Amino acid sequence: MRFVLHELLAHEQIEALPGNEDFTPDVLNAVLDEAGRFCSTVLQPLNRSGDEQGCRLENGVVRTPDGFKQAYEDFIAAGWTGLAADSEHGGQGLPATMDALFTEMLCSSNLSFAMYPGLSHGAYKLIRRHGNEEQKKTWLPPLVEGRWSGTMCLTEPQCGTDLGLIRANATPQTDGSYVINGAKCFISAGEHDLTENIVHLVLARTPDAPAGTRGLSVFLVPKFQVKADGSIGARNGVTCGSIEHKMGINASATCTLNFDDAKGFLIGELHQGMRAMFTMMNGARLAVAVHGLGIAEAAYQGAVAYAKERRQGRALVTSQSPEESADLILVHPDVRRMLLSMRSQIEGARALSSWVAARYVHSQRNTDARARQDADDFVSLLTPVIKAYCTDMGSEAANLGVQIYGGHGYIREHGMEQFVRDARICQIYEGSNGVQAMDLVGRKLPAHAGRYLRQFFQPVAAFIESRAEDPALAEFVGPLSKAFVRLQKASAWVAANGLRDANEAGAAASDYLRLFALVAMAYLWARMAEIALAHQSSDDGGFYRAKLNTARYFMQRVLPQSSALFACIVAGGESIMGFDDDDF
Ligand SMILES: Cc1cc2nc3c(=O)[nH]c(=O)nc-3n(C[C@H](O)[C@H](O)[C@H](O)COP(=O)(O)OP(=O)(O)OC[C@H]3O[C@@H](n4cnc5c(N)ncnc54)[C@H](O)[C@@H]3O)c2cc1C
């Protein structure tokens, strides 16, 4: 994490942006150290018990598993809920890069726990951006402090991906408030015992609203009303009808919420709910990418530890420990392949998600309007890419973790199977990964005649060109350059054929998104290799050697997937769309 922050992303010069002056490398490293300590000593020990116990619904109140309430109190007492919030609302104002790294630690140690403060931060962002001054004054400080938590209420039984189907309704009142009615399902942290109040952000439609998503507005509906002095008032008409019994993240309460004449307040403008909600959803998509990464890292750490202690069979060529009854499984090429597949993609994904977070900081804090716009374009383009890629990778890595443990991974004892179950949801919520791919090809690629794409293509092209003659980098820049050409050709193919027939773009979308992610990581791996090469002589403990060799693995054994993906994309959609519906 320190390498990514201080070496790989040094050129982003985040510390030079207004508001970041105090965040020297020493300060940031101290925060990372303390975050690591908190996550490993307080949250990780509750991961398995939380999974086994799950949440319980008792008389309308959701009880989180034993230990969660105390851990949450410790969490807010240490100020973690305010890490990336503005100081004017009581936060510490750390850059989003730190938030991403901290979120990764949270998710490595306890994804279920991470859901509670994660949604609060999303609610914070939405109200900060779209709320009026009075709303900000009332709702933001307790959210930042962690005394209150937030939710995102979109999904209804008949409405998942297609938010135009939302039925929840909001009736205007003479005092300017709204009465909210309807049922929401699958609401994370919809009800729980960790905070004194819950702030629901609800997509609903007013009586005269246009049909579809254009008629949606966002309403803030608190669990308890708030008195003028900020203290907790009467209970509002929102109750938890049931909680879901799920495959994973069992300690995260996934609730059905009933809104029965609940009092709510419009946030932002009427019928502009999707715009406002996208503030929360985009932030959440970046966070969910890191959910996948966090699980992958935890699975990798478990798998490495096991591969260094489990003895089975002999090395194919020379035994590593002839005095023992068998060699460590670490000697077997296939086990090493699995470990390096995990490691190269985890470190690549961490570099990529941190790069996106760094550009996000520029989109918010750069003093130059053009630079802010460029950074915003970049973040818009890469958001679906990292959401889908990192969460697919999280599941792949969790599965490889089980595989490395063999049967001991499949049984519960070592916690590896929990990673598989917990990682799976990340590919589904916050817009399923197929929908992310559609967002990339359908919205982000064509936006402003390809303007977003330039924000990614330009730095990659410039890097390749400036390093083309460097023989030391040839083994990295060569494969990057070839894969980049494939991505450029695939982009042109998707644009041209998608325009002619939208099904062609849809059929290519998921392969195109993965190709995009691989090329983005190849670029970052080439940069990381360049840094590692420069530090070879002062390599303390082999850190840079390992970095270099992981870069080699990525270039030789992961990036070649780009050829197959390219072939799938340009094969076209006929084999998919031409298949007769009746034959399914
Ligand atoms: C544990 C958990 C927590 C959740 N937390 C929240 C929360 O806090 N707040 C909230 O509002 N919701 C939440 N959700 C809901 C979640 O966001 C939805 O489940 C998700 O958006 C997918 O919707 P759906 O399940 O209705 O699937 P559907 O929309 O029915 O999709 C089914 C399948 O069809 C595909 N599909 C659908 N439309 C398209 C399309 N246009 N193009 C291509 N493929 C398509 C999807 O990719 C998917 O594979 C949560 C869900 C779970 C399980």
The 10s digit of each residue's pLDDT in 199-235 is 999 999 999 999 999 999 999 999 999 999 999 999 9
The 10s digit of each residue's pLDDT in 88-113 is 999 999 999 999 999 999 999 999 99
152 lines ligand 1 (CB under 6 A): yes
Q: Averaged over 125-132, what is the pLDDT?
A: 96
CA distance 393 to 290: 11
User: Which percentage of the chain shows pLDDT scores above 70?
Assistant: 100
The 10s digit of each residue's pLDDT in 270-286 is 999 999 999 899 999 99
Q: What is the pTM of this model?
A: 0.97
The 10s digit of each residue's pLDDT in 329-373 is 999 999 999 999 999 999 999 999 999 999 999 999 999 999 999
Q: Averaged over 414-431, what is the pLDDT?
A: 97
Distance 511 CA to ligand 1 centre (A): 20
Do the Cβ atoms of 353 and 484 come closer than 8 Å?
Answer: no
87 lines ligand 1 (CB under 6 A): no
* DSSP assignment string, 65-114: PTTHHHHHHHHHHTTGGGTTS-GGGT-----HHHHHHHHHHHHHHHHHHH
CA distance 170 to 168: 7
- Looking at the CA of residue 153, tell me the nearest atom of ligand 1: 11
88 counts as catalytic: no
For the chain, count helices (H), then strands (E).
18, 11
Ligand 1, from 191, 201, 246, 428: best to mutate by most atoms within 8 Å of Cβ?
428
Do β-strands 169-172 and 61-63 pair in parallel, antiparallel, or remain unpaired? unpaired
Distance 431 CA to ligand 1 centre (A): 6
CB count within 10 Å of CB 573 equals 19
Q: Name the catalytic one among 191, 430, 504, 530.
A: 430
Look over the chain and give the mean of its residue pLDDT values, rounded to a whole number. 97
CA distance 7 to 532: 10
User: Which percentage of the chain shows pLDDT scores above 90?
Assistant: 97
Do the Cβ atoms of 409 and 388 come closer than 8 Å?
Answer: no
**Taking 90 as the threshold, does the pLDDT of residue 537 lie above it?**
no
Asked whether the CA dihedral 492, 493, 494, 497 is positive or negative, the reply is: positive
pLDDT band at 191 (very low <50, low <70, confident <90, very high): very high
165 lines ligand 1 (CB under 6 A): no
Distance 429 CA to ligand 1 centre (A): 6
Please give the distance of CA 187 from its chain centroid, rounded to a whole number: 18
Candidates 160, 179, 193; CA nearest to 55 is 193
Do β-strands 197-205 and 148-153 pair in parallel, antiparallel, or remain unpaired? parallel
Distance 285 CA to ligand 1 centre (A): 13
**Taking 90 as the threshold, does the pLDDT of residue 446 lie above it?**
yes
- Looking at the CA of residue 155, tell me the nearest atom of ligand 1: 11
